[in-house]
Amino acid sequence: MEKEISEKKKKNSFWHIWTSYAIYYFGRVNLSFIIPVLLATQGLTKYSLGLVASGFFFAYAIGQFLHGQISERFNPFTYIAVGLIGSAIMNILLGFSFGFFWILFIGEIMNGGFQSMGWSSSLRANAEMHKGDKKSLEKKSCSLGTSYQVGNSIAWLVSAFIIGWFGWQWGFWFASIILLLRGITLLIIKPEIKVEKKSIIKQVKHTLNFPIIMAGICLCLLNIVRYGVIVWIPTYLIEVQNSSMIGTGLKIFLIPIAGVIGTLSYNKLKINRSILTAIFLSFLGLMFAVYGQSTGLTSVIILILSGFFLYGPHVFFLSSFPSRFVDKKIVASSTGFIDGMAYIGAILVGIIIPFFLDISTWDFVFTFWSVLCSAIMLLILGLYVFMKVDGKMAKEMDILDYEEIKS
């Protein structure tokens, strides 16, 4: 297959995948800027809106587990497009929710289901287009990971302006327009991918191995931090630092952009991935430990640095690592499992953060994120030490240096 695909087709396909997944974020992170408006104008509480966010993440997590297995049987480009169109339809309907909790809750659950069709299929599509060229696949997998950082950043900024100018309903409606247009165009231009169906039992067996499970646990903890920032930092800036809607958008716009730089730096450094990940996480924990005492420009700089140190390890677990299983034909299923575990962490964000804010302050939240970073760091260093003590077994089990599944 790889000889039949020209370099031009590979390049074009990559950018179709990259832009498609970046656009997914218009229908996902728009809620971050809608939440402060609903709190101020619709009489909803942080608990109720936290449940709305958790409903989305719950559906997304379940969808990742399911779609990761199911999508192996379909053209991944078609799967990506259907998810975009489905999310577009749900965002149209959410704009007519009139701020009612149950409509928002059910709508975001359905939106989460469609949104979960994107990432595992995107990673599989990329792997299929670069199959047989491991060096190119590793490079493109890392680059694909920047799609959700750039998409997150642009979607945040655009949503802030749209909601600030036209109201929270247009935060949903504008996203639906972008999602729908991209989904339709992708269906029209999608390349053909040969689908080789395999036993579902064998596929699940290969997916549920120790390295993939451990990667899922690490990403679960890391996503509590990441989505804590995505969902709640705008509310913190508006409520505590008295930032305007557009001002908040401009401040956090740079977080994922810094993540792109951090990701590229992470992959350029010639350091053992266990040690490098621990270093990045230690600095990330330090950023949150001091963030609560910062104001003004210092606060913005710390947020930018947190993005830099967060996304390198995140992209590795979510993109580069599962792409290594292309020969076992479980790229989508392994990605679905790891990302599903990650969004269990995201589910907890909608419950834990409102609870912490009820019993304590924002400083407690930032300390909690810092402690989580330390916990992940210790887990990774523990695995690294184990690798040094028990060479052969640890080589197969090490989640950061593992190269292939043993049959």
Three-state SS annotation for 231-249 = HHHHHHHHHCCCCCHHHHH
Cα 320 off chain centre by: 14
With H, G, I as helix, E, B as strand and everything else as coil, classify residue 92: helix
Asked whether the beta carbons of 221 and 343 are under 8 A apart, the reply is no
Residue 402 belongs to some domain of the structure: no
Residue 405 belongs to some domain of the structure: no
Asked whether the beta carbons of 107 and 327 are under 8 A apart, the reply is no
Residue 13 belongs to some domain of the structure: yes
Instruction: Tell me the CATH number at 97.
Output: 1.20.1250.20
Domain containing residue 102: 9-397
Q: Whose CA is closest to 35, among 237, 223, 224? A: 237
| Contacts of range 377-384, beta carbons closer than 8 Å, 24 or more positions apart | 377/277, 377/278, 377/281, 377/282, 377/285, 379/217, 379/218, 380/218, 380/274, 380/277, 380/278, 380/281, 381/274, 381/278, 383/214, 383/274, 384/272, 384/274, 384/275, 384/278
Asked whether the beta carbons of 199 and 320 are under 8 A apart, the reply is no
Asked whether the beta carbons of 280 and 313 are under 8 A apart, the reply is yes
Return the amino acid letter for 261: I
- Counting Cβ atoms within 10 Å, is residue 186 exposed (0-12), middle (13-18) or buried (19+)? buried
Residue 1 belongs to some domain of the structure: no
Percent of the chain with pLDDT over 90: 29
d(CA 319, CA 352): 27
Return the amino acid letter for 275: I
Comparison of pLDDT for 212 and 31, the residue scoring more: 31
pLDDT at 9: 77
Residue 213 belongs to some domain of the structure: yes
pLDDT at 301: 92
Cα 186 off chain centre by: 21
pLDDT at 243: 87
pLDDT at 392: 52
pLDDT band with cut points at 50, 70 and 90 for residue 2: very low
DSSP state, 328?
G
Q: Whose CA is closest to 291, among 265, 278, 309, 313? A: 309
pLDDT at 113: 92
Residue 407 belongs to some domain of the structure: no
Asked whether the beta carbons of 157 and 32 are under 8 A apart, the reply is no
Q: Whose CA is closest to 349, among 226, 219, 237? A: 226
Residue 117 belongs to some domain of the structure: yes
pLDDT at 136: 63
Asked whether the beta carbons of 339 and 223 are under 8 A apart, the reply is no
CA-CA distances (angstroms) from residue 283 to 1, 233, 277, 395?
A: 43, 19, 10, 27
Count: domains in the chain:
1
pLDDT at 20: 93
pLDDT at 255: 85
pLDDT at 200: 61
d(CA 146, CA 259): 8
Where do we find the tokens 């990971």?
145
Task: Write out pLDDT tens, residues 111-158.
Answer: 999 999 988 888 888 777 766 656 666 667 677 878 888 888 889 889
**Helix, strand and coil in the chain, % to nearest 5:** 85, 0, 15
Tokens of 332: 């989508």
Task: Write out pLDDT tens, residues 83-99.
Answer: 999 999 999 999 998 88
> Which pTM was predicted?
0.74
Residue 1: is its pLDDT beyond 70?
no
Phi and psi angles of residue 360, each rounded to the nearest 5 degrees, phi first: -145, -145
Residue 33: is its pLDDT beyond 70?
yes
Residue 2 belongs to some domain of the structure: no
Length of the chain: 407
Asked whether the beta carbons of 127 and 331 are under 8 A apart, the reply is yes
Where do we find the tokens 């490079």?
139
Tokens of 272: 């053992």
Specify which of 179-183, 199-203, 328-332, 373-377 reaches the highest per-range mean pLDDT: 179-183
Tokens of 199: 């036993």
Tokens of 370: 């810092």
